[in-house]
Structure 1
Amino acid sequence: MNAPTHQGQRTAHLDTAGTGRMPAAVQSVLADCTARDDRFGPHALEEELGAVLHTGIHERLGALLGVPAGRTALAVGAADAFHAYVSRLDLGPRDRIWTTPHEGVARLTTLHALRERTRCRLEVVPLRADGDLDLEWMLEHIDEDVALVSVVHVSAVCGTVNPVEAVGRLLAPHRALYAVDASHAVGQLPVDAARIGCDLLTADGWRFLRGPQGIGFAYAGPRSAEAFPEPPAPAAVAALYTALGHHAAAMSLPHPQLLPRLRSTVARAPGIDLLAAGRVQAGIVGFRHGEVPAALVRRALARRGIVVRKSVAQEHPLHPAGREAPTALVASVHYDNTAEDIDHLGPALREALHEIVREERKFAAVSAVRVLAAAGAAPVGRPPVRQDPYRRPEPFRRGHLTLHTTS
């Protein structure tokens, strides 16, 4: 399952939530179709893949989502599909949109644009103290002014599983259209759009489904406005078709539950705090160090054959994790991971933190000596400037944009 690195190490890929590793069969289909597209052109490839493009892919998507194949659509990504359907809604100043703190910036951009165009109101459903969505708040505040409710099934920040079926039952008697982002749910959890009761469900194909980049899909129920998202490349469709078949076969096999092992391993590292994830979590662990920047930790882990992802606050600007730290790390596990991957993470994380702290202290000491040598002794009555051990010289520093939203 693990591929050697260029240094001869074996890589533990703990970033399926960011980009899943395509199975060999999917890679082969993508490479072959891309080569034929390049040699003979897209029209010839479309003719050859006709059955897959027009019926096969939709049949597999319908089976994955528990919906009729004719209600599925392809797009270049989940965010693009969401925009294609939601941006067409006919709302007005009295209408209200509900989103949640788990919403990603791409979908928020669509919602803000809709608000600017229609002058509707955008409201954020609060979280309870335990990190779960406040369903009691929703029940208390729902009325016929609520036109759209957008909920993330599994949070990309920390793996929180939101009660999408309970939300569907709560909204069923009301006017509101219900949209679910299942990008981090499909491929690791059963996703049944009919049981959820949503009007729109969107997802990416390159995360836990382990398909290629540049393809997503949607289920659009009878109440959804007609829309035509930008279609993905035929080669990507053929590769996702293969990935869906691989996923269906793989999920019929037993797989160990690795998430508790991952959480425990990360939590034992010195100075590490787990991001709060609610009562139910799936596949994803968010964490940070109180002093060491996430980018340094990610690079140090990569040198040790561990692939994790750095997240920044503006990716999910409403999530409380962004108030704790502007950057964090995200590790995720899937059925292609093993217990050995996680066992490799534990010592690698401890070694990485030790190395960073040692090097940064050395850097700070050298910098302090240089400052004193250049400036001479500190003036009488003025204490020496304290050097921040995690501050890089200006050419090497990176700032982070924080996106502020208002309802």
Structure 2
Amino acid sequence: MPPLHLNHAGASVMSAAALAALHDHLALESRLGPMAAAEQAAPALQQLRVDAARLLNAKVGEVAILGSGSAAFGAAWSAFVHAAPLRAGDRILVGRQEWGGNLASYRLAAARAGASVEVLPCRDDGSVDVTASAALIDARVRWISLTWLPANGGLINDAAALGRLARAAGVPYFIDAGQAVGQLPVDVQALGCDVLKSAGRKHLRGPRGTALLYVRQDFVDRLEPPWVDVQSAPWAGGLRADARRLETAEQPVALHLALQVAVAEALARGLESIAARVQALARLARERLADLPKVRLHDLGAGPRSGLVSFTVDGEAPTATRARLAAQDIHVGANGVPYTPLDMQARGLEAIVRASFSCLNDEADVERLAAALRT
């Protein structure tokens, strides 16, 4: 049997066209030199920005291309606190499923300033409780952060409702959309966020070493990078007036060309169609795994769930389950506490196995996973 990839939430697989774009440009660089090759690639690189803006329902100048989801978040967060440092008593509000890297950054910054990081209340299904969250907001709240689709299960938080709350309160609102972009429609206008980021390697099916960062145009001036170069601060003009003030001049052109193909392919397929397919497969997987006596599902959320299906097998460590499946050429993920520390600890979980689905998968893939777990 061919390998079965069920770790699209970790990193998906590039299409043949995206891989060809990457290879072709590297070959061109070897013939012309990187600078001349980049000049030839300029139209495609601009098309990437146009397509990425369309993907997010943003303006072209509101999108920056960075090297990873962590780098995108770090660029925006460091620029925010550099422009207006945290003070003693300031508060940062985060969702319970906050990505571990974001959470670590918040805690370090808060500890230096004497500020605090506080967790937004949850409903019984684990999702953010926007109504209860409203009572937490006061003049000391400097930043609200939400991981839209958490890494450790199928929950889809109501990011738009929290965005309406943040906008009404005038508090900057950040969305970690690492598992959302490429899996379901993303509309930054409807979400009401000031900043949103996503790696390109996940459901978008771009290469590793790429990420999209959205910064609302009216919010750009509140971000001052702690360091700049000729891209982010041209000599004659000071800081750029758009999201690219968070970029650098040196860019991996071949990776960006592959990302351009991936974004264009997602738009051509249609995000609504992709979301429907992914959610249908994940729903079938949950049904099949729930029938297995030794398998325990660990998903949250009462409404539609994402394509991330989390579970454990009785008497078997998640890393051992992953290895056993890999020996059968079925490739899944296994996440520990550092990925989503607040949520994992709240639920008493040390680790989970995660099967994540893509529009590349089909019903036979679900049955193959269930059969492998059954034995």
1:45, 1:321 → 2: CA distance? 50
Q: Is 2:117 the partner of 1:122?
A: yes
Q: Is 2:342 the partner of 1:331?
A: no
For 1:81, the equivalent position in structure 2 comes to 72
Task: Give the helix-richer structure, 1 or 2.
Answer: 2
1:45, 1:109 → 2: CA distance? 39
Checking the alignment, whether the CA contact within 8 Å between 2:151 and 2:339 is kept in structure 1 is no
Q: Is 2:289 the partner of 1:266?
A: yes
For 1:163, the equivalent position in structure 2 comes to 158
Checking the alignment, whether the CA contact within 8 Å between 2:56 and 2:186 is kept in structure 1 is yes
| Partner SS for 2:219 | coil
For 2:331, the equivalent position in structure 1 comes to 307
- Relative to the length of structure 2, the TM-score reads 0.86
| Partner SS for 2:174 | strand
- CA drift at 1:44: 2.3
- CA drift at 1:340: 0.7
2:185, 2:130 → 1: CA distance? 22
Aligned with residue 264 of structure 2, among 224, 229, 245: 245
Checking the alignment, whether the CA contact within 8 Å between 1:131 and 1:276 is kept in structure 2 is no
Q: Is 2:196 the partner of 1:190?
A: no
Deviations 1:292-311 (A, max 9, x none): 11111111111222111111
238-247 or 288-297: bigger deviation: 288-297
- CA drift at 1:93: 1.3
Q: Is 2:246 the partner of 1:223?
A: no
1:30, 1:322 → 2: CA distance? 43
For 1:399, the equivalent position in structure 2 comes to none
1:347, 1:76 → 2: CA distance? 38
Say how many residue pairs are matched: 342
Aligned with residue 36 of structure 1, among 17, 28, 35: 28
| Partner SS for 2:168 | coil
The aligned amino acid for 2:51 is: R
Uncovered stretches (5+) of structure 1, i.e. residues with no partner: 1-8, 352-407
Deviations 1:259-290 (A, max 9, x none): 21011122222321111311131111111123
Percent of paired sites with the same residue:
30
| Partner SS for 2:169 | coil
| Partner SS for 1:210 | coil
Checking the alignment, whether the CA contact within 8 Å between 1:186 and 1:209 is kept in structure 2 is yes
Uncovered stretches (5+) of structure 2, i.e. residues with no partner: 226-245
Checking the alignment, whether the CA contact within 8 Å between 1:316 and 1:322 is kept in structure 2 is no
Aligned with residue 319 of structure 1, among 320, 339, 343: 343
Checking the alignment, whether the CA contact within 8 Å between 1:75 and 1:217 is kept in structure 2 is yes
For 1:71, the equivalent position in structure 2 comes to 62
- CA drift at 1:202: 0.5
Aligned with residue 100 of structure 1, among 72, 76, 95: 95
Q: Is 2:15 the partner of 1:23?
A: yes
- CA drift at 1:183: 0.9
By relative contact order (CA 8 Å, sep 6+), the higher-ranking structure is: 2
For 1:286, the equivalent position in structure 2 comes to 310
- Relative to the length of structure 1, the TM-score reads 0.80
- CA drift at 1:26: 0.6
